[in-house]
Amino acid sequence: MSQDTNYDTFAEAYNAENETSLLNAYYERPAMLKLAGQVQGKTILDVGCGGGVLSEELLRRGATVHGFDASQAMLDIARRRLGAQAQLKCADLSEPLPYAENSFDDACASLVLHYLQDWSAPLAELRRVLKPGGRLLISVNHPFLYPLTHQGVQYFKTTKYTDELEFDGQQGSLTYWHRPLHAMSDAFARAGFSIELISEPPYSKEAPNELVPENLKDRDAFVSFIFFVLR
Ligand SMILES: C[S@@+](CC[C@H](N)C(=O)[O-])C[C@H]1O[C@@H](n2cnc3c(N)ncnc32)[C@H](O)[C@@H]1O
């Protein structure tokens, strides 16, 4: 895990937020599950699985699920949620992964790649552990998010930045790597992936009214994450 972002320090608070927030429960997760589609009978790797909420949904839909995360505290929460239903490991996406090649039909990397400066080795590792024809589903901070929320910064420069956030009442800081869209697609191509789909989805219509900020009530989409399906 990056030295700068340590989910161990706010794992329970982050998990509580993730289970119910507009961004996770009513935007990122439904969008990722929609891209995953029919998962019955598939073996899926949940990359940076956190507290295991996506894994739980994949299991409910009939997949066999393996997950890993660099934070032991997040994994403890995932274990509490999933019991023995999913095979969970502590592993770092920036290091060689503890899985044999050709192991998974799909891998889902929800909101994790933006913590890494260099995507080359992680993407090569994910390609190695996917079966031929397998898919890598990614969600990351939208490349337009950093220039939109930080005045005067350069869109085209790959840049490290830190946001101070509040999770369920607890302060936490997250350090991301912004990169422009072409840097993402270059990294995918270098690792041998082709882009099957790019998605900028709407948030879920099931989002409770009180979770939707006033300035978003007149629209169904906002700039936050971008989604890719790679093969
Ligand atoms: C924003 S949370 C998302 C959790 C989960 N994917 C979800 O969407 O509910 C990011 C997760 O990525 C994990 N993470 C960050 N850097 C990582 C790395 N280098 N290797 C593995 N996991 C990492 C964090 O510990 C955290 O659990």
| Ligand 1 atom at minimal distance to the Cα of residue 46 | 6
| Residues at CB less than 6 angstroms from ligand 1 | 1-2, 7, 18, 24, 48-50, 53-54, 69-71, 74, 92-94, 110-112, 115-116
Cα–Cα distance between 216 and 166 in angstroms, integer? 20
Distance 105 CA to ligand 1 centre (A): 21
For the structural domain made of 7-230, what CATH number should be given? 3.40.50.150
Q: What's the pLDDT at 50?
A: 98
Q: What's the pLDDT at 85?
A: 97
Q: What's the pLDDT at 6?
A: 87
Distance 48 CA to ligand 1 centre (A): 4
Q: What's the pLDDT at 3?
A: 59
Predicted confidence pLDDT, tens digits, the chain (231 residues): 555 778 999 999 999 999 999 999 999 999 999 999 999 999 999 999 999 999 999 999 999 999 999 999 999 999 999 999 999 999 999 999 999 999 999 999 999 999 999 999 999 999 999 999 999 999 999 999 999 999 999 999 999 999 999 998 899 899 999 999 999 999 999 999 999 999 999 999 999 999 999 999 999 999 999 999 999
Q: What's the pLDDT at 24?
A: 98
> At which residue do the structure tokens 């840097």 appear?
183
Mutate to test the pocket of ligand 1, among 69, 72, 173 (most ligand atoms within 8 A of CB): 69
Mutate to test the pocket of ligand 1, among 9, 112, 227 (most ligand atoms within 8 A of CB): 112
Distance 95 CA to ligand 1 centre (A): 14
Query: Would you state the structure tokens that stand for residue 9, as one six-digit string?
Result: 């320090």
- For atom 4 of ligand 1, the residue with the nearest CA is 50
Q: Quick one: CA dihedral 38, 43, 44, 50, positive or negative?
A: positive
Q: What's the pLDDT at 1?
A: 58
CB 204 within 8 A of CB 166: no
Rounded to the nearest 10 degrees, the angle between the axes of helix 11-20 and helix 72-82 is: 50
Residue whose C-alpha is closest to residue 6's, from 49, 70, 90: 70
Distance 111 CA to ligand 1 centre (A): 7
